[in-house]
Amino acid sequence: MQDTTTRSSARSIDSSLQNASADMKLLVKDAQALLTAAASLTGDKADDLRARGMELLDRAMGRASQYQGQAVVKSKELAQTADVYVKDNPWRTVAAAASVGLLVGIFLGRK
């Protein structure tokens, strides 16, 4: 049950990171386009474009901090889930860690 919860949380984090990355790239590209257009213009129109570009960058920074907060919350949830699993299944955890250690030892011993 907890293994399923951990997997779904990991999938949720992956999709959130992909969405965040796509959103950030789009916002930054839009802001760059506006600022590039504003560089060639003068007067009120240039000021308007610069202001819109700065607004887009501010929005990107806000979303970045929002996604960072979500990542912190999800990582704390995953850590709590892992902690509960280890406490509920100590011997299974020890066996898994020993198996990984044995495999790493075998691979390093061959080289």
43-58 pLDDT tens trace: 777 777 777 777 877 8
In this prediction, residue 28 carries a pLDDT of 74
What mean pLDDT is reported for the chain? 79
| pLDDT band, very low/low/confident/very high, at 23 (cuts 50, 70, 90) | confident
Separation of alpha carbons 53 and 34, rounded Å: 5
60, 65, 66, 71: CA torsion to nearest 10? 130
User: What is the rounded radius of gyration, in angstroms, for the C-alpha atoms of the chain?
Assistant: 23
SS3 42: coil
Nearest-5° Cα angle at 43, 41 to 45 = 65
CA angle in degrees (0–180, nearest 5) for 86-89-94: 75
- At 106 the pLDDT is 93
Residue 89's φ and ψ, nearest 5 degrees, are -130, 65
Q: What is the pLDDT of residue 99?
A: 94
What is the model's pTM? Answer: 0.47
